[in-house]
Amino acid sequence: MGLGWCFIGNAASFLFVIASLLLLDGRQLHPVPPVHRAAGQLRAGLRYAAKIPAIARPLLMMAVVGTFTFEFEVSLPLLARDTFHGTNTTYSWLIGALGAGAVVGGLYAARTQRTGLRRLTWAAAGYAVAVGLVAAAPTLPAAVAACAITGAASVVFLTAGNSTIQLAADPSYRGRVTALWSLALVGSTPIGSPIIGAVSQVSSPRWALALGAVACCVAAVIGYQALPPRSKAAPNDVKSVSAAS
């Protein structure tokens, strides 16, 4: 049908998002007083986030993972073409499996009632294993299966981090903290994409994916080091709120 129809289908999918927003029952929302614009709010938000481990650590973890791991738009096309000597269809299988796994991961995350730094740390460790499986997959079917696991792990990591920082933030700072989270997720892409592309060109896409797995391990260590001694051995995650994720 041509590439143009893919963009049209993507645009049409936003109609469901708009419909969902319009159908929200505003009476069940709990608005907080807006923070009026003033000088120094950005600096105040940065200082506030830096002094709370439940916010600072997830932001740092997201920055590391966002830079080196969430670059599948770069690594997976090269994996399909250079490693498995495939076509556009090969790439569609890989990215499709990633999306299918993300749906499963989203359903799992929606059912859980706990979040926190400990859960985020374990999510980062599981994400590292999943991406490592993609990097080491010997065949295309194995890579597709590993991509499905990776998609699920990525959503669990994102949901755990997002809900953790929102629940840890004071309502007056929640908007700025969430903006920092988005910056760590999306703003790291321009930094990581050239690095992942260069690693793929110099060595192979497998090594680029392996770099992403190592980044998840680093993120897990960052989170683990901030855990109190007791929480490293026993769960102490806080109750999650579905709206926060």
- What tens digit of pLDDT does each residue of 124-172 get? 999 999 999 999 999 999 999 999 999 999 999 999 999 999 999 888 8
- For residue 243, what pLDDT is reported? 40
> In the structure, how many helices (H) and strands (E) does the chain have?
10, 2
Question: pLDDT class for 194, splitting at 50, 70, 90?
Answer: very high
Per-residue DSSP letter, 137: -
- For residue 204, what pLDDT is reported? 92
> 114 pairs with which residues across the strands?
239
pLDDT digits (tens, 9 = 90+) for 62-108: 999 999 999 999 999 999 999 999 988 999 999 999 999 999 999 99
Share of the chain above pLDDT 70, in %: 93
Which two tokens mark 120? Answer: 């985020």
Whole-model pTM? 0.83
- For residue 33, what pLDDT is reported? 76
- Report in angstroms the alpha-carbon separations of 75 from 69, 105, 144, 146, 206: 9, 21, 14, 14, 8
With beta carbons less than 8 A apart as the criterion, state whether 238 and 166 touch.
no
Return d(Cα 156, Cα 151) in angstroms, integer: 9
- For residue 1, what pLDDT is reported? 84
Q: How many residues would you count in the chain?
A: 245
Q: What are the two backbone dihedrals, phi and then psi, of residue 238, each rounded to the nearest 5 degrees?
A: -85, 160
- For residue 245, what pLDDT is reported? 39
